[in-house]
Amino acid sequence: MRRPEILAPAGDMTCLQAALNAGADAVYFGLGELNMRQMATRNFTRESLPELSSRCAERGVKRFLTLNTILFEGETALAWDILKFARPYIDAVIVADWAVIDICRDLGIPFHVSTQMSCSNSAAARFFKSQGASRVVLARECTLEEVARISADAGIDIEVFVHGAICMAVSGRCMLSHGAYGCSSNRGECRQPCRRMFRIHEVQEGENANAEFLVTPHTVLSAKDLCSLPFIDRLVATGAASFKIEGRARNPEYVKTVVTAYREAVDAVIAGRFDRQRAQAWVDGCAKVYHREFGVGLYHGRPGEDQFTDTDENQATTKKLYAGVILNYYARPKIAQVLIHSQPLTAGNDLSIHGPASGVVDLKLTELRQDEKSLDTVTKGQWATFPCPARVRPGDKVYRVVKC
């Protein structure tokens, strides 16, 4: 049985480190321009790319650059410049425009065909292979049976999405945001009108021509998040080469939690230890971090049954509250020192510590001390030390995790 790659999103250094620590085999990221998350607050830069590359190389983790928007006339020079700069630091480029494919071939950079190019059959996959592609990210409309047939017949590595947000247009190329706000989702500028509430208003002139209706449920266009953990064994059986987790705009705890779950789930399938009870435990773990209602996408058939959410509110079962920052870490005794800026900390709290070099460190606060004095609680302006088995760094942010 083929062991699929776990491909994690990386929006910034903290998310990157969280993915590496959680056992990702590969990461994908953007450089701020010509990528489908260029409006997100999380993106890498040319200045940070060498460090990203070095961290991944130390772990044997592959690095995939997303240059996956459509290109307009006059933008090929920018794409060429980005790719020429990035070439020494990446393993492949995820592409959605033929001009970028042409540049990759000229520069000798391996490329993966994005789901934006809507490859949904083995004939199309073979064609992309003939044009030099080393991988195809399948259209998200494909069922489990179709993924298996394409993986067997296409003669090229197949990548599939396993977790995260799904566009109402499924494989993308949606025009809603462009039509409503002049911000194209195909340029990484989506304002997500599909997630919003709609009101129908009568426009006919005349007396009493003022009828108005609120569309209910307002999430009529808002797709559920994909969660394939309950049937991950069937996805592994398709022979797909890579399992992709959506979420470059999501937070570091999402990356850590979801990558950890899929790493453990895939390893369990390969070892013959996968069962429904464990699958539910992984789902429950992923439910602690940001997500919409979970669904199965279109893997079990088209159109998807119960495909849209009842609410677009965050369904996470926990939330984090900012407490303070790490002042110091003492490696030999494995003790961290925290300065409280906001939320108080009390022994017994669940903590999550985030930093660009530390990633995400989760722990139970077992005790608090000031020098030799034991404390029950520390409040704003106070410092304290506490046991911390994993290394953290000065400046890392400390959060208290509570149930929603």
253 and 381 part of one domain? no
256 and 358 part of one domain? no
Our count of domains for the chain comes to 2
Last residue of a domain, one of 261, 295, 329: 295
Q: Scanning the structure block, which residue is given the tokens 């409280």?
A: 340
> Percent of the chain at pLDDT above 70?
97
Q: Let me know if residue 179 belongs to a domain.
A: no
Please report how many Cα atoms fall inside a 13 Å half-sphere around the Cα of residue 217, on the Cβ side: 13
User: Is pLDDT of 39 > 70?
Assistant: no
339 and 263 part of one domain? no
37 and 145 part of one domain? yes
Look up residue 70 and give its DSSP letter: -
pLDDT digits (tens, 9 = 90+) for 391-402: 999 999 999 999
CATH code: domain of residue 338: 2.40.30.10
Q: Let me know if residue 44 belongs to a domain.
A: yes
93 and 146 part of one domain? yes
pLDDT digits (tens, 9 = 90+) for 231-252: 999 999 999 999 999 999 999 9
Which one is predicted more confidently, 183 or 101? 101
User: Is pLDDT of 370 > 90?
Assistant: yes
Residue 318 vs residues 350, 352, 374: alpha-carbon distances, Å: 11, 12, 28
Q: What is the largest CA-CA distance in the chain?
A: 81
CB 86 within 8 A of CB 35: no
Number of residues that make up the chain: 404
The tokens for 226 are: 């994909």
Tell me, what amino acid is at 187? Answer: R
Q: Which domain does 328 fall in, by range?
A: 319-403
pLDDT of residue 184: 77
Confidence of residue 176 (pLDDT cuts 50, 70, 90): confident
pLDDT digits (tens, 9 = 90+) for 46-78: 999 999 999 999 999 999 999 998 899 999 999
User: In whole angstroms, what is the distance from residue 10 CA to residue 31 CA?
Assistant: 11
Q: Let me know if residue 330 belongs to a domain.
A: yes
CB 8 within 8 A of CB 29: no
Q: Let me know if residue 208 belongs to a domain.
A: no
226 and 356 part of one domain? no
17: nearest Cα among 396, 358, 371, 399 = 358
User: In whole angstroms, what is the distance from residue 385 CA to residue 178 CA?
Assistant: 51
pLDDT digits (tens, 9 = 90+) for 285-322: 999 999 999 999 999 988 765 788 877 789 999 999 99
User: Is pLDDT of 34 > 90?
Assistant: no
* Helix 13-22 and helix 49-59, axial crossing angle in degrees, nearest 10: 10
User: In whole angstroms, what is the distance from residue 122 CA to residue 56 CA?
Assistant: 32
User: Is pLDDT of 284 > 70?
Assistant: yes
Confidence of residue 170 (pLDDT cuts 50, 70, 90): low
Q: Let me know if residue 149 belongs to a domain.
A: yes
Q: Let me know if residue 309 belongs to a domain.
A: no
233 and 363 part of one domain? no
* Helix 252-271 and helix 276-286, axial crossing angle in degrees, nearest 10: 170
323 and 285 part of one domain? no
pLDDT digits (tens, 9 = 90+) for 326-357: 999 999 999 999 999 999 999 999 999 999 99
User: Is pLDDT of 404 > 90?
Assistant: yes
Across the range 9-13, mean pLDDT stands at 96
E-only strand ranges, 176-301: 199-201, 212-214, 225-227, 242-245, 294-295
288 and 331 part of one domain? no
Q: Let me know if residue 166 belongs to a domain.
A: yes
> Percent of the chain at pLDDT above 90?
78
59-63, 90-94, 180-184, 223-227: which has the minimum mean pLDDT?
Answer: 180-184
Q: Let me know if residue 300 belongs to a domain.
A: no
- C-alpha radius of gyration, the chain, whole number: 23
Residue 108 vs residues 52, 92, 182, 189: alpha-carbon distances, Å: 21, 10, 35, 29
pLDDT of residue 177: 81
358 and 264 part of one domain? no
86 and 138 part of one domain? yes
Quote the Cα angle for 133-139-140, to 5°: 140
pLDDT of residue 40: 61
Using CA atoms in the order 264, 268, 270, 276, what is the torsion angle rounded to 10 degrees? -120
> CB burial class (10 A; 0-12, 13-18, 19+) of residue 299?
buried
CATH code: domain of residue 158: 3.20.20.70
Residue 113's CB is within 10 A of a number of other CB atoms, namely 27
59 and 124 part of one domain? yes
